[in-house]
Each structure stands twice: as structure tokens, then as C-alpha cells.
A = this chain, B = another copy of it.
């Protein structure tokens, strides 16, 4: 019997304020914005941050959870598209676009993430696998590329574009284009290494 009392009113308010403040602060200052600044922006004491989120990483995880779910929803909506190749490209475009903002290695995070994020991530992975399978069956993706490959490659366009100094904000689209051409069956060369263990 986990009789969970409803939380106090100021607690829910503070939690929401912290999430909003953290999202803003991270977007402006990057992932190493200080907890103190986030607390100040949310109008609470530093200690309150750690009452709601055991660690700074947990706070990041809470924000990340929303983004992953958004992405999964977008992917699921593309599962019954008429053109499976275009659907996969569209999904990768949404993925790159939403995380254009920041660092975001969160999609595949190492080690001990909290179970909610792990679950959300696995749902998203399953969606990617389906999208890739459909695209492959349709001849839009080469036979030797797996869903896991695409999951790993997903973040590359943003990563690559982020290192161009005075680059246009949509540069990632160019590298997504090159990547996608690499995923196509036309002109594909055999790959020197087997795919990694499935995600």
C-alpha cells in the first residue's frame, strides 16, 4: 500500500518553476549552468533544487525525458506514412531539429540513468527500429544498416554542424543529407565492421 499523499502546493509550484528555469538556463549557458543560478532564476533556495532532484544530472534527466517522449510521438506518427524512406528522413529531421539547441548526448547516456529515462529511451529506440525496418523493406535504406546504426548516427548531424564557427543555424540539414545518402542502397560499398550489439 503505497498511500501517496498529494504533494504540497508550494512543492508542485517550485518543481515546475525549477524545470522551466533549468531549461532556460541550460539553453542560454549550456549544460554546465550552475545550480545556484537555476535556483535563483526559479526564486528558490539552492537546497530546494536537491530536494526535488537528487542530483544535477537528475534535473537534466527530467528535462530530457520530455524531449525523448516528443520525439517518440513524432516517430510513431510516421510509422504508417505512404513513403517509408521519406518517413525516416522526416524523423531524423525532427530529431536533429529539436535538439539543435544543445549538447544532447542524452539520447544515449552511459551507465546509471534513472529508470524513467531508460524506459522512454527504449520506447524511442523501438520506434526507430520500426522506421528503419520499413524503410529497408521499401528499398530506401541499404540492407546492411541496422536500426541500432541509425540510433547511433542520429545525433551526428548536430554534432558535426556545432563545430562550424560562423555557420548558418540549419547547417545540420546538409550533414543529414550526406548521412542519408550514405544510408541509401545506391552506390553502397560493403562495410568493414559488423553492426554493434542491438539497442
Interface residues, chain A, CB within 8 Å of chain B?
105, 108, 110, 145, 148-149, 152-153, 155-156, 159-161, 163-168, 170-171, 173-175, 177-197, 199
Copies of this chain present: 2
Q: Are B177 and A189 touching (Cβ within 8 A)?
A: yes
Could you name 26 residue pairs across A and B whose Cβ atoms are closer than 8 Å? A105-B163, A110-B165, A149-B178, A152-B163, A152-B175, A155-B159, A156-B159, A161-B196, A164-B196, A165-B199, A167-B196, A167-B197, A168-B196, A171-B193, A173-B193, A174-B192, A174-B194, A177-B189, A177-B190, A177-B191, A178-B182, A178-B191, A179-B179, A181-B182, A181-B189, A182-B182
Residue ID in chain B nearest A166 by CB atoms: B197
Q: Are A174 and B149 touching (Cβ within 8 A)?
A: yes
Q: Are B177 and A153 touching (Cβ within 8 A)?
A: no
Chain B residues, CB < 8 A from A153: 160, 175, 178
Q: Are B192 and A187 touching (Cβ within 8 A)?
A: no
Q: Are A197 and B165 touching (Cβ within 8 A)?
A: yes
Chain B residues, CB < 8 A from A161: 152, 196
Q: Are A179 and B177 touching (Cβ within 8 A)?
A: no
Residue ID in chain B nearest A176 by CB atoms: B192
Q: Are A177 and B163 touching (Cβ within 8 A)?
A: no
